[in-house]
Structure 1
Amino acid sequence: MLSRYLLQRSLSATSMRRYATAAPQAQISETVSTADALENARPFSEIPGPSKYELIRGFMPGGEYSKITFTEATRIMQKKYGSIFHFPALFGKPEIIMDLNPLDYPIIFRNEGIWPERRSFETFVYHRTVHRPDVFQGVNGLITTGGEEWAKMRTAVNPVLMQPRNAKLYLNTLLEINNDFLERIRDIRDPKTLEVPADFHDDLNRLTLEGVTGVALNTRLGMIHKNRDAPETKILLKSIRNFFDYSEDLEVKPSIWKIVKTPKFYKLMDALDKLTDLCNKYIDEALKQIELDKDGKFTSEVGKEKSVLEKLLRIDRRIAVVMALDMMMAGVDTTSSTLVGILFCIAKNPDKQAKLFEELNRILPSKDSQPTIESMQNLPYLRACIKEGMRYYPIISGTMRRLPNDVVLSGYHIPAGTDISVSSNLLLRNENFVVEPNKFIPERWLRNDTEGKKYQLDNPFLFLPFGFGPRSCVGKRIVDLELEVTLARLVRNFVIEFNYSTENAFVPKLVLQPAIPLKFKFEERKA
């Protein structure tokens, strides 16, 4: 049962829309499909795509898609079937429409409703409702819920997580962690080449996990230095990686796990068990440190911003615990892979890095200068570099929607309740939609840059790194801040190089994963 506070709150379209993070509604034309448009549209049955047999055979050993990722398979099918095609219902999973036509995207988002629905990861739902109901007790988090249940929870957590001014309060926590990370780089880089070891991705995962726990729990796990060799640390990082790897095989590719529990299904349950148990241990330890004052208000260590956990405890204890758990599980590989992509772009474009350094040097006159909430507001080129890095290396293919009413997409009648994949991020390196897509041009994101205007994206729905609208990523503000702090501190302290090829640098799994050694060179700046 959700808290009385939440049950008593009224929910309106206005209250949910206030948190939209993509294009404003004014930019979306009236695209609700009329009766005439629906009547004149081509029938759903005519949408091209593979048959059940073709799909199964393609992903079986020896098949066309057997040794590639789902994203790579999608690109092959796009060439074969066009910009919109379907996957048939298979092994208990519903039919899905893959939409790579950006002209359809305003239609989809205009019709999503005030409680946008999207298909949940069913293995995740199974773990929380069937495998471990003792832990979640009916409060399953934003990832696995929909409808009014999702809306009430989202309304509760938005003020804590989605307001920029609240996210920025965690600046000092992230700075403290980043200072440790800078020292880690200085300790591990080769004294002659100044390159960090090939497994630098592990250090980036530790950085992002330390940041997440710092914000979510106001707790330091010591993963960068103090406790980096602790068995729990290694189990936690490995379980997070296994979670993403097995999820692609079970959720995205054809799988019979809903009919017969496969070995990979049990491996995923084991990974989720380990993640749940370890994260709950850290959460329990954080709860012990939170004390009630005489007025019944939660207090924390003097001088530190209250953790997300502590703030949400005011609303509902179970929501607080599940949200902290989700932040720890979902905020590591996603953020670290994003950071790797941005570092590749910065390292391979020294002119852009120099321009970024000039901006940082004006705000942070020495390497020891610490950014403040006020100074971070004066770094437009930093934010432009981050956006362009996310465009150049998008870590996910897009987002999903299940619309409440019939629409017409690419001339086809799409019935209500059909799963639609908005695969917008697969188009961000397509010259038909992006000017100079294979060049790193941060200026395209600067509103007042005359030269950059010709590179700006015409369609606001192409770039959706955090999704769109009410169902956009609830951790967006925290991730933005973490990326800004980390990139600012790295570029202000080091000249960053990567003296190797970045061809095939990532493997596009459920989340983009680095596929080459990350031997970045960090040369100390003189001042």
Structure 2
Amino acid sequence: MAETPPGPNGEPLFGSSRTYARDPFRFLSALEAAYGDVARFDMGPMDTVMVADPDAIERILVAEADRFRKPDFQGDALGDLLGDGLLLSEGETWERQRELANPAFTMSRLAGMADRITGHAESLLADWTAGDAVDVERSMTHVTLDVILDLMMGVELPDERVAEIQAQLVPLGARFEPDPVRFAAPQWVPMPGDREFEAAIDALDGVLDEVIERRRGTFGSEEEGPTDFLSILMRARGRGEQSPDQLRDEMMTMLLAGHDTTALTLTYSWFLLSEHPEVERRLHEEVDDVVGDERPGMEHVRDVEYLEWVIQEAMRLFPPVYTIFREPTADVELAGYEVSEGTAIMLPQWAVHRSERLWEEPDAFDPERWSPERSEGRHRFAYFPFGGGPRHCIGKHLAMLEAQLILATVASDYRLEFMGETPLDLMPSLTAHPEQEMRMRVLNR
């Protein structure tokens, strides 16, 4: 009979949640280093199993994906925020909504949008001057919000309105920072920050209502109408296949999940380039050779190979989504250990991407590790920033295209010099944000 996974002994009531809350990134890496493939710990009252074995991760996400579901978040804050949108929905609802969404994310459609992505990056740069100090995380959040509003909802909002959206991201993010008291307390117990969280949701719901109102009468027919995600959903609503609540949940999911990870990927890319001038020089040389005096476009994306490696390496070292969860629908054996039905299974990108068992010099920023020669033989789930299997991130291709075009557009004219202290401290929420302001000096190349 398989054994229960090994793991640390936690405190009464809190388990390991206080250690986890102090620094989830260090905790996950230490757990992987100490126990390897599988480890068990208590997150307050919740029995949790961390799985860091690429074979087991592939089995959970791909080969046996139907035996592992996403945990039910509908009764907690994440459910209040995203509801039954694509990120959280299960079963027939997820299958129907994913099928509806697919046309908005095809490469043929996205390729036709490349010029618009570059245009949003150029609009950002119109406000920059050499010598300026800019908050790069804020800038990248603004431009990726512009892109998701345009490409997926068919609107362009004034800068002031986008800034209002950004202001709501602070209380939303704070609600999901790990808190051992929250882990141990029932969901109904009022906690600090709840009121601000609810007000932020109300504010974003107001933005989404405004977006729908602006688009009223523009959704067109099934055969000739636009293929942005909002138009697809509104035509489905017209057929009676989309409730107002489902529409709201999908739009909120798209607004938040659709911009955040790309903004963070770009933020960490700029930071790493600033810290590694030799990598920055090589990237600039490639952009000059491939793009030259032209505007970065779809015709250049295939040829900016080193730039793509930089993005991949940034997502390896600083995966915006640093862990994902599943739970087995029946008792299961993983890597020789027994895991009970309903146990929270944590698949930590952070620990796997930085594992000494899987990577040579895992803490080094080395874009060339993504060259075909050095990638050969690497397990595909030693790296999974977009998840994997049927539930992989639907926006994967958009995120990569967006990151490549924005990075190339900025790098054509400027280099960015980090002005803060290193190493970075990270703030764990739903995604991994820098704790400090990412202030960088804009310099002419």
Give the TM-score normalised by structure 1: 0.74
CA contact (8 A) 2:142 2:163 kept: no
1:514 aligns with 2:406: no
Structure 1 equivalent of residue 213 of structure 2: 284
Structure 1 equivalent of residue 86 of structure 2: 142
Alpha-carbon distance, 1:424 to partner: 3.2
Q: Could you tell me how far apart the structure 1 residues matched to 2:397 and 2:303 are?
A: 17
CA contact (8 A) 1:208 1:335 kept: yes
Alpha-carbon distance, 1:421 to partner: 0.8
Q: Could you tell me how far apart the structure 1 residues matched to 2:16 and 2:308 are?
A: 45
- Out of 151, 157, 160, the position equivalent to 2:104 is 160
Alpha-carbon distance, 1:471 to partner: 0.8
Q: Could you tell me how far apart the structure 1 residues matched to 2:288 and 2:261 are?
A: 29
Map of 1:57-72 to 2, 5 A cutoff?
59=18, 64=19, 68-72=22-26
Q: Could you tell me how far apart the structure 1 residues matched to 2:29 and 2:47 are?
A: 18
Structure 2 equivalent of residue 221 of structure 1: 157
Aligned residue type for 1:391: R
1:172 aligns with 2:115: yes
Alignment deviations for residues 260-297 of structure 1 (CA, whole Å, 9 cap, x no partner)? 233434432332222222222223212x25154xx675
State the structure with bigger RCO (CA 8 A, min sep 6), 1 or 2: 2
Structure 1 equivalent of residue 285 of structure 2: 358
Residue 55 to residue 77, structure 1, CA distance change in 2 (3 Å):
farther
1:435 aligns with 2:435: no
Structure 1 equivalent of residue 14 of structure 2: 55
CA contact (8 A) 2:17 2:183 kept: no
SS at match of 1:95: strand
Alignment deviations for residues 344-386 of structure 1 (CA, whole Å, 9 cap, x no partner)? 12222222222222222222221xx123322322222221111
Structure 2 equivalent of residue 31 of structure 1: none
CA contact (8 A) 1:49 1:86 kept: yes
Structure 2 equivalent of residue 96 of structure 1: 48
Structure 2 equivalent of residue 478 of structure 1: 398
Map of 1:54-453 to 2, 5 A cutoff?
55=14, 59=18, 64=19, 68-75=22-29, 84-88=38-42, 94-114=46-66, 117-122=69-74, 123-124=76-77, 126-127=79-80, 140-161=84-105, 163-186=106-129, 194-197=131-134, 199-223=135-159, 227=160, 232-249=161-178, 254-286=183-215, 288=216, 290=218, 292=220, 297=223, 299=225, 306-316=227-237, 318=242, 322-366=249-293, 369-447=294-372, 450=373, 453=374
Aligned residue type for 2:357: N
Alpha-carbon distance, 1:205 to partner: 1.7
Alpha-carbon distance, 1:299 to partner: 3.9
Aligned residue type for 1:470: P
Give the TM-score normalised by structure 2: 0.87
Q: Could you tell me how far apart the structure 2 residues matched to 1:410 and 1:471 are?
A: 22
Residue 118 to residue 58, structure 1, CA distance change in 2 (3 Å):
closer
Alignment deviations for residues 209-267 of structure 1 (CA, whole Å, 9 cap, x no partner)? 111111122211132xxx3xxxx544421212221220234799614242423343443
Query: What percent identity do the matched residue pairs reach?
Result: 22
CA contact (8 A) 2:322 2:348 kept: yes
Alpha-carbon distance, 1:500 to partner: 5.0
Alpha-carbon distance, 1:465 to partner: 0.7
Q: Could you tell me how far apart the structure 2 residues matched to 1:128 and 1:337 are?
A: 20
Q: Could you tell me how far apart the structure 1 residues matched to 2:248 and 2:163 are?
A: 23
Q: Could you tell me how far apart the structure 1 residues matched to 2:181 and 2:302 are?
A: 39
Aligned residue type for 1:393: F
CA contact (8 A) 1:249 1:255 kept: no
SS at match of 1:216: helix
CA contact (8 A) 1:195 1:519 kept: no
Aligned residue type for 1:204: M
Q: Could you tell me how far apart the structure 1 residues matched to 2:62 and 2:231 are?
A: 36
Q: Could you tell me how far apart the structure 1 residues matched to 2:428 and 2:92 are?
A: 33
CA contact (8 A) 1:120 1:143 kept: no
Mark the runs of 5 or more structure 1 residues left unpaired by the alignment: 1-39, 130-135, 301-305
CA contact (8 A) 1:435 1:456 kept: no
SS at match of 1:520: strand
Q: Could you tell me how far apart the structure 1 residues matched to 2:79 and 2:296 are?
A: 43
Q: Could you tell me how far apart the structure 1 residues matched to 2:429 and 2:222 are?
A: 46
Residue 284 to residue 424, structure 1, CA distance change in 2 (3 Å):
same
Alignment deviations for residues 122-175 of structure 1 (CA, whole Å, 9 cap, x no partner)? 42465279xxxxxx8xxx2112321222122112212322x3222222212211
Q: Could you tell me how far apart the structure 2 residues matched to 1:106 and 1:126 are?
A: 26
CA contact (8 A) 1:216 1:324 kept: no
CA contact (8 A) 1:309 1:321 kept: no
CA contact (8 A) 2:352 2:358 kept: yes
Residue 180 to residue 340, structure 1, CA distance change in 2 (3 Å):
same
Bigger Rg, which one? 1
Q: Could you tell me how far apart the structure 2 residues matched to 1:216 and 1:419 are?
A: 32
Structure 2 equivalent of residue 36 of structure 1: none
Alignment deviations for residues 379-423 of structure 1 (CA, whole Å, 9 cap, x no partner)? 222211110111121122222222344432242112344321111
Q: Could you tell me how far apart the structure 2 residues matched to 1:511 and 1:404 are?
A: 26
1:465 aligns with 2:401: no
CA contact (8 A) 2:118 2:297 kept: no
